[in-house]
Amino acid sequence: MSLLSRPARITAVAAGLALIAAGCGSSETTTPPAAGGSSAAVSAECQPFAEYGSFAGKTVSIYSPIRDTEADLFQEAWAPFAKCTGMKITYEGTGEFEAQIQVRSDAGNPPDIAFFPQPGLLERFAKAGKLKPASAKVKELTDTNWSADWAKYATVDNVFYGAPLGASVKSFVWYSPKMFAEKGWKIPTTWDELMTLSDTIAATGIKPWCAGIESGDATGWPATDWIEDIILRDLGPEEYDNWVAHKLAFNDPKVVAAVDKVGAILKNDKYVNGGYGPVKSISSTAFQEGGVPITEGKCALHRQASFYANFWPEGTVVGENDDVYAFYLPGNDTTKKPVLGAGEFVAAFADRPEVQAVQAYLAGTEFPNARMKLATYVSANKGVDLANAQNPIDKLSMEILQDPATIFRFDGSDLMPAAVGAGTFWKGMTDWINGKDTKSTLDFIDASWPKS
């Protein structure tokens, strides 16, 4: 006896095969090459891309951790470039970038270009001799379009490997302007004011802070951002660099003090976890949902990067006087504005001319502007037109990034060796939220630093 008639079974099998075929291709999609009509040699549309040359029939593959909608927007943004130069850009986004790029590289099947979100990972590949140095043109574009802080993150042993691409600003505290106006709360400009505000909010019966650090096997990273922000503020950028390079021990008393300062918020049952429960609920709350209680009035403050703008429930208006907005996470005094951020770097495993052309194009100003016109996007490229920003947070982020007074530092966990930055630091902070004390947490992380 069969549950399905024969034709129905065949259909089911065919559908299954189609699914398998689609699954094998993961999210690989291609930007179609120039479709025939090349009669008009250089049309007005193609004028900006003429300088990159013509690469008819050539293919450049890109491998990246950026997926889904964002990936589609990327491809939409560079489609004119691909069309005008005649090349085909195949793009593959993956959720397993950190592991898979290693596998593909070891297997002798690396992509032409990879978008590295961690300079530490890029460094590992550069030192292993897998990456090709960036062309003089890419270097020149990077020097004009990005601050020296940014350029140095893709430089390994004085060799420059690739320009930055997107960026995010992490030193933000999200809040509800409407809620603040209603209750008469003011945006704090110093750390002390922030703590006073937290007490004020706690006194009204609302838990002031909400947080979520659950993120699959990356669980813990939002907590590491907290620590980095405070170390950057309290110990200063130089000590921050030392700490990231392990010249300052992970369990140094200064680091312990900074972590305890974060603990005064994240491990304080009076302050957290608004809308979710006790302190421990932080570690089981998905980071995407961490700030959502703000929209329900159950929480007032949520420290998270600019990209959190994408995670608010549908219908939430992001704006200075609307449902949600963000303020700069204040430091000890108002004169200095250190900013913690992150981004991706475009490094190449091949140095064919068409690959270098794509790198140059991505390092220029056309791409970020084209991408910004499509949807929310932040780039630290100084050549971007802020008028293209799609929302106030993007604009605010880019204003901060372009401000010459800003001291920018890259997310430290992305710079550390992966065993720490993507391993024990995340795990340690998760255990710490779960009740482990600061000193033994930091001892554990310090001991795990790879000896070389």
Partner 1 sequence: MDLNFDFAAEQPKLVQLLIGVVAFFAFIGLMLLLLDRAPMRQRARLHALILLGPALILLGIGLIIPGIRTTLLSFMNGDSSTWVGFENYSWMFTQPEALTVLRNTLIWVLVVPLLVTAIGLVYAVVVDNTRFESLAKSLVFLPMAISFVGAGIIWRFVYAYRPEEADQIGLLNQIVVFFGGTPQQWLLEPPVNTLFLIVVMVWIQAGFATVVLSAAIKGIPSEIVEAARLDGASPIQMFFRVTIPAIRPAVIVVVVTQCIGTLKLFDIVRTMTGGQFDTSVIANEMYNQSFRYGETGKGSALAVFLFVLVIPIVIYQIRNLRQQREAR
Nearest 5 degrees, angle CA 49-CA 54-CA 57?
A: 125
Site for partner 1 contains 198 (CB under 8 A)? no
Site for partner 1 contains 86 (CB under 8 A)? no
Mask 364-393, x = binds partner 1 (CB under 8 A)?
A: ------------------------------
CA dihedral 260, 261, 265, 267 (to 10 degrees): 0
Applying CB under 8 A, the site for partner 1 has a residue count of: 39
Site for partner 1 contains 244 (CB under 8 A)? no
Q: Closer to partner 1 by CB, 290 or 417: give it.
A: 417
With CB under 8 A as the contact rule, the residue among 284, 310, 388, 402 that binds partner 1 is: 284
Quickly count: other Cβ atoms within 10 Å of residue 256's Cβ. Answer: 18
Partners of 113 in the beta sheet? 62, 348
3-class SS shares of the chain: helix, strand, coil, % to 5: 50, 15, 40
Site for partner 1 contains 136 (CB under 8 A)? no
What is d(CA 19, CA 180) in angstroms, rounded to the nearest whole number? 49
8 Å CB contact between 442 and 436? no
| Spatial CA neighbour of 65 closest among 422, 394, 435, 452 | 422
With CB under 8 A as the contact rule, the residue among 151, 187, 218, 350 that binds partner 1 is: 218
Site for partner 1 contains 103 (CB under 8 A)? yes
Site for partner 1 contains 277 (CB under 8 A)? yes
Find the part of the chain contacting partner 1 (CB under 8 A) among 1-9, 300-308, 328-336, 444-452. 444-452
Site for partner 1 contains 76 (CB under 8 A)? no
Site for partner 1 contains 2 (CB under 8 A)? no
Strands 59-64 and 88-93: parallel
CA dihedral 149, 175, 399, 372 (to 10 degrees): 100
Q: Closer to partner 1 by CB, 97 or 172: give it.
A: 97
Give me the residue label for tokens 């889904």: 68
What is d(CA 327, CA 376) in angstroms, rounded to the nearest whole number? 18
| Spatial CA neighbour of 139 closest among 342, 341, 346, 344 | 346
Q: Closer to partner 1 by CB, 145 or 219: give it.
A: 219
Reduce the DSSP state of residue 72 to 3 states and report it.
Answer: helix
With CB under 8 A as the contact rule, the residue among 90, 147, 200, 281 that binds partner 1 is: 281
What's the closest the beta carbon of residue 207 comes to partner 1, in angstroms? 11
What is d(CA 440, CA 50) in angstroms, rounded to the nearest whole number? 59
Q: Closer to partner 1 by CB, 245 or 419: give it.
A: 419
Q: Closer to partner 1 by CB, 263 or 364: give it.
A: 263
Give me the residue label for tokens 């293919």: 59
Return residues touching partner 1 (CB under 8 A).
18-19, 21-22, 27, 29, 98-99, 102-103, 124, 128, 216-220, 275-277, 280-281, 283-284, 417-419, 422-424, 427, 430-431, 434, 444, 447-448, 450, 452
